[in-house]
Amino acid sequence: MHIIDLSIFVLYMLAMLGIGFYFLKKNSGAEDYYVGGRTMGSGHVGLSVVATDVGGGFSIGLGGLGFTMGLSGSWMLFTGLLGAWLAAVFLIPKVKDNPAFARFLTFPQIFGHYFNRRVALLAGIISAIGYTGFTSSQILAGAKLASGTFTNLDMNTALLIMGAIAVGYTVMGGMKAVIYTDTIQWAVLMGGLIFIGIPVSFLAVGGSLEHLSFSQLANVDFLAQQSSRSMAAIQATLPPEFLSLSNITWQQIVNWAITIIPIWFVGMTLYQRIYACRDTKTARRAWYIAGFFEWPVMAFMGVSLGILARVAAEQGMFADLGAGASMDPETGLPMLLRTVLPVGLMGLMLSSYFSAILSTADSCLMASSGNIVTDIISHFRKLDPDAPSTLRLSQLVTLLVGAFALWLASMMTNVLDLMLYSYAFMVSGLFVPIIGALFWKRRSSVAAFWAMLVGGAVTVLLQVCLLPALGPKADVLGLAEQLHPYFPADITNVWISLNEFELRDLVQQTLAANSIVQLPWLHVTFRLPFNLDPNLFGLTASFILYISLTYLYPEKKKQKTWQKKTASATTSILQHSSRN
């Protein structure tokens, strides 16, 4: 990598650390540290929300969707738009207009208000574990992008750099540093995509040039001619459905919806930003801004780069990097950047993509830290949220969680997988109880507790036991014996006569077309209906259990809230109310 690109990238990362250092002395307590003093405006919060939600997934996953399915991959973020606007209409007024929540710092405190302290503690543990694992995944995604783009940079060094930067400014500055860096990171990302990534990549796939230069980019005649060649190359290389919005099944849309929309109602990172807003109107405006930028803005930018990476791969532009058309879709974007960007623009574009990853990692780190301090430690030990000692504890916990997430990403990828299952557990387990608490007058702590556990457990069990894509060393014949009931009808009775290559192809197609679950200890194999996501069945189990147990075990008397029993951020306001 050229020294100019490296210098730009290093200066950008130092600027992020500088923002954290600036806010180091400006935080006076846990309220400043975790919810920004509740004085944030809609612009900063809205951009922080979309940067957090789209961030790392955009830089790696959304480009992969464009690579594999074209423009239709943009529908994934349409469900993000729906989630954001539904939360703005229904959730935010319930949270911001309730005076009992006026000094809340975390999402599980709401469970403590409506149910009992055991339910709140369980929600805090689930959320803390899930966001710790998600922080690890974001640091790992950044390290993969770095090691795949920078020559002579190994994975462990990349992990250390990414982790130190993300953890450093988050520990120092807290939520204000996170929101303001998210705003800057969003601006850098948008500028990088609009002015560098998309136009330069588009011109590059037109061929007839080895490397773009600044003089070519300033030549209007060259741009017109090259644009025509690029459009012709795209149309000639890709099948027509790649440029259509209908290359998608209803199952894919449903699966995205049931995975993404509930996050807007149970995400700790989002509740922290609701609390950080000045008032209800500010929060709702921020969510409307976030939804618009998710779809169509970010959605089409992301898949467009993935489409261009697919064209480049099909043309053999990545051959020197050891890849071809059959490459991993999620590696297409780093390879495209390495191949087409001239000196100077490479550093700016890399800064853009690292912005996306850091904006998600820092928010998840703050969420996990907030859960541990406010929902777990405060459960067992009295803490004054306004005391300097609580601020120091919060910073220490953030540092320890960040260090643990970094170690997890670098040493134990199998454990990281388990941690990420807890994130799915969180979504499936917490969604139904929080909707019931906010929108249904009946209460049952028993129902909330078991709906969390069973709903989350069903989703994780199905995900763990879902048969993966066929690996290179898989027992194809053994799998075929188990999967033959799901083969096409005309092959069910003759598959045994297929040769090895034909049988492997048949098994691969069967696994791709069906969500097949295998419970080996019960010797049971079955197919999920309509190829739907395990989240749907976890949410269904949680819903049935919550409704049933609420009627069977209703609250016999008004529960004393968790905040009245245990010191937390709401202690002082509740005591003040009781005196009045």
Query: Domain range for residue 382?
Result: 3-21+38-466+535-579
pLDDT grade for 574, boundaries at 50, 70 and 90:
very low
Backbone angles phi, psi at 332, to 5 degrees: -65, -45
In a domain, 191, yes or no: yes
Q: Is the pLDDT of residue 227 over 50?
A: yes
Per residue in 427-446, pLDDT tens? 999 999 999 999 999 999 99
Mean pLDDT in residue range 378-393: 88
Percent of the chain scored above 90 by pLDDT?
44
- CB atoms near residue 343 (< 10 Å): 14
Q: Is the pLDDT of residue 575 over 60?
A: no
DSSP bridge partners of 524 = 519
In a domain, 508, yes or no: no
Instruction: Report CA torsion sign: 122, 128, 130, 131.
Output: positive
How many domains does the structure of the chain reveal?
1
CATH code (residue 276): 1.20.1730.10
Of residues 56 and 547, the one with the higher pLDDT is 547
In a domain, 28, yes or no: no
In a domain, 526, yes or no: no
Per residue in 493-529, pLDDT tens? 788 888 888 888 898 888 888 899 999 888 888 999 9
DSSP bridge partners of 120 = none
In a domain, 225, yes or no: yes
326 alpha-carbon distance from chain centroid: 26
Q: Is the pLDDT of residue 557 over 70?
A: no
Q: Best-predicted range by mean pLDDT among 56-65, 135-144, 565-574? A: 135-144
In a domain, 79, yes or no: yes
Mean pLDDT in residue range 416-429: 76
pLDDT grade for 149, boundaries at 50, 70 and 90:
low
pLDDT given at position 565: 40
pLDDT given at position 287: 97
The answer to whether the CB of 109 falls within 8 A of the CB of 563 is: yes
Alpha carbon distances (Å) from 291 to 53, 266, 442, 455, 521: 10, 17, 32, 27, 44
pLDDT grade for 412, boundaries at 50, 70 and 90:
low
What is the DSSP code string of 420-478?
Answer: HHHHHHHHHHHHHHHHHHHH-S---HHHHHHHHHHHHHHHHHHHHHB--PPPTT--HHH
Q: Is the pLDDT of residue 579 over 50?
A: no
Percent of the chain scored above 70 by pLDDT?
89
**552/53 Cα distance (integer angstroms):** 38
Q: Is the pLDDT of residue 126 over 70?
A: yes
Average pLDDT, the chain: 85
Q: Which of 174, 193, 200, 175 is nearest to 293 (CA)?
A: 193
pLDDT given at position 189: 80
Per residue in 441-469, pLDDT tens? 999 999 999 999 999 999 999 999 999 88
pLDDT given at position 351: 78
Per residue in 155-214, pLDDT tens? 777 778 878 888 998 999 999 888 998 888 888 888 888 888 888 889 888 876 666 677
Mean pLDDT in residue range 298-313: 89
pLDDT grade for 413, boundaries at 50, 70 and 90:
low
In a domain, 510, yes or no: no
The answer to whether the CB of 84 falls within 8 A of the CB of 288 is: yes
**274/367 Cα distance (integer angstroms):** 13
Q: Is the pLDDT of residue 2 over 80?
A: no
DSSP 514: -
Per residue in 350-374, pLDDT tens? 777 777 778 888 899 999 999 999 9
Burial class (CB in 10 A: 0-12, 13-18, 19+), 229: middle
The answer to whether the CB of 456 falls within 8 A of the CB of 424 is: yes
What is the DSSP code string of 65-129?
Answer: HHHHHGGGGGHHHHHHHHHHHHIIIIIHHHHHT-GGGTT--SSHHHHHHHS-HHHHHHHHHHHHH
DSSP bridge partners of 40 = 277
DSSP bridge partners of 517 = 466, 526
- CB atoms near residue 389 (< 10 Å): 10
pLDDT grade for 474, boundaries at 50, 70 and 90:
confident
